[in-house]
Structure 1
Amino acid sequence: MSKSAPKTTKHTRFEDAQAFVYGTAMCALAMMMLKTLGFITGQTAGLALLISYVIEAPFGVVFFVVNLPFYWFGYKRMGLKFVGKTLICVALISVFAETFPSFISFETLNPTFGAIMIGFMTASGLMAIIRHGGSLGGIGIMALYIQDALGFKAGYVQLAFDAVLFAVAAFILPLDLVAYSLLGAVVANLVIAINHRRDRYIAT
């Protein structure tokens, strides 16, 4: 007689909380490494980082402000619960990004090693956040909204945004830094593509 499928269970609030703290801490540390090396990344975090370079403003503050217009898209597409979790995650990473430099600094950080580790940490953090129903807001939310409204695939919207972002960065940052930034983005996307398999999940 075949065994029955395991009963699915929802994450508790404590489990959500630890996932959001862990995920945002990993992403904030990756952002700190990005700033140390002068790199950028994709999506809204990349936009906020590029703006922070240009206007010489704290990344955490810029990231929080840049995300504000996208909450409406999140509410329309995912509902109030999703927006609430996203707001918490964005607030956490904004705070962590500004406080972590008080606890750690990098005297030596090889750019190739840094780009790879940034990709690993970003992917790990994002998977924890997404798995527990949150996000880091921004372009990903708007891409899903556009997909619903116009039928244009969300992945293509995000790719188009990143292409424009890195093209603009090429006029502001040295090309070698843009190349290292692309390496980090590729590593992050590969890790997520290989490990973020919804068909393997049990708890939601």
Structure 2
Amino acid sequence: MSLPSPRHSFSEDAQGIAFGSFMAAVSVVLLTHLGFVTGQTAGLAILICYGTGWAFGPVFFVINLPFYWLGWKRFGPTFVAKSFLAVAILSALSMVLPEYLHFGETHPAVGAVLVGCLTGVGLIALFRHGSSLGGIGIVGLYVQDATGFRAGWVQLIFDACLFLVALSLRDPITVGWSFLGAVILNLTIAVNHRKDRYIA
């Protein structure tokens, strides 16, 4: 007999979204310090920033705006409100944290693992509180509903294109370390965020 999944209280959701957004923001600071790239919507925002010199926070916030409509249709207003809040917090923190958080010389292997772990833990917290940070996952689910083409493949194809574009902005070694970080991120989520194993 399986136990019913408990509903989170308002304060628990607030803590979870704040924690997840903060972990992701720390990851973005380290990632950009190392000159890495990543996947999903955050990866697209980072590539735009590398190519233009614009700040990550505003770019990430604006990129996500079109996806809220899809999120509303697919998951409802509560998911959209929580995701909007998480994106806003991450965008703001990514602009504030560099004033207070500084990284010295960091080996790229250690940085890649740490970026993957920080982002993975942050996203798991957001997922478990009915929130998210990016629009590509929503697009993947939308495509899956409409065509049957798996959402995971949609995200994989998008990320592959991002990393190919990254080769024109970053050297192959840096892109390789970035890919390691993406692998660690996805493994962290795959192993630790399973509805058939965890109830909250």
Give TM-score, length-normalised by structure 2.
0.97
**Unpaired segments ≥5 residues, structure 2:** none
Alignment of 1:32-43 (within 5 A): 32-43=29-40
Aligned to 2:9: 12
Of 105, 108, 121 in structure 1, the residue corresponding to residue 105 of structure 2 is: 108
Of 67, 72, 77 in structure 2, the residue corresponding to residue 80 of structure 1 is: 77
Contact kept? 1:26, 1:124, Cα under 8 Å: yes
Aligned to 2:128: 131
Q: Matched residues in 2 for 1:173 and 1:79: separation? A: 38
State whether structure 2 residue 170 is matched by structure 1 residue 142: no
Secondary structure of the 1:171 match is coil
Of 110, 115, 118 in structure 2, the residue corresponding to residue 118 of structure 1 is: 115
| 1:112-156 CA distance string (max 9 Å, x none) | 100000000000000000011000131001111111111111000
State whether structure 2 residue 155 is matched by structure 1 residue 180: no
Aligned to 1:92: 89
State whether structure 2 residue 62 is matched by structure 1 residue 59: no
Secondary structure of the 1:137 match is coil
Deviation at 1:6, TM superposition (A): 4.2
State whether structure 2 residue 160 is matched by structure 1 residue 163: yes
Moved beyond 2 Å, runs of 4+ = 4-9, 200-203
Contact kept? 1:24, 1:89, Cα under 8 Å: yes
Question: One-letter code of the match for 2:53?
Answer: E
Secondary structure of the 1:198 match is coil
Question: One-letter code of the match for 1:175?
Answer: P
Question: One-letter code of the match for 1:112?
Answer: A
**Unpaired segments ≥5 residues, structure 1:** none
Contact kept? 1:111, 1:180, Cα under 8 Å: yes
Question: One-letter code of the match for 1:190?
Answer: L
State whether structure 2 residue 21 is matched by structure 1 residue 24: yes
| 1:75-97 CA distance string (max 9 Å, x none) | 11111111111100000100111
Secondary structure of the 1:136 match is coil
Q: Matched residues in 2 for 1:35 and 1:22: separation? A: 20
Aligned to 1:198: 195
Deviation at 1:110, TM superposition (A): 1.3
Percentage identity across aligned positions?
A: 51
Question: One-letter code of the match for 1:128?
Answer: A
Question: One-letter code of the match for 1:47?
Answer: L
Question: One-letter code of the match for 1:165?
Answer: L
Task: Call closer, same or farther: CA 1:5–1:167 in 2, change over 3 Å.
Answer: closer
| 1:46-73 CA distance string (max 9 Å, x none) | 0000001111011011000111111111
Contact kept? 1:32, 1:97, Cα under 8 Å: yes
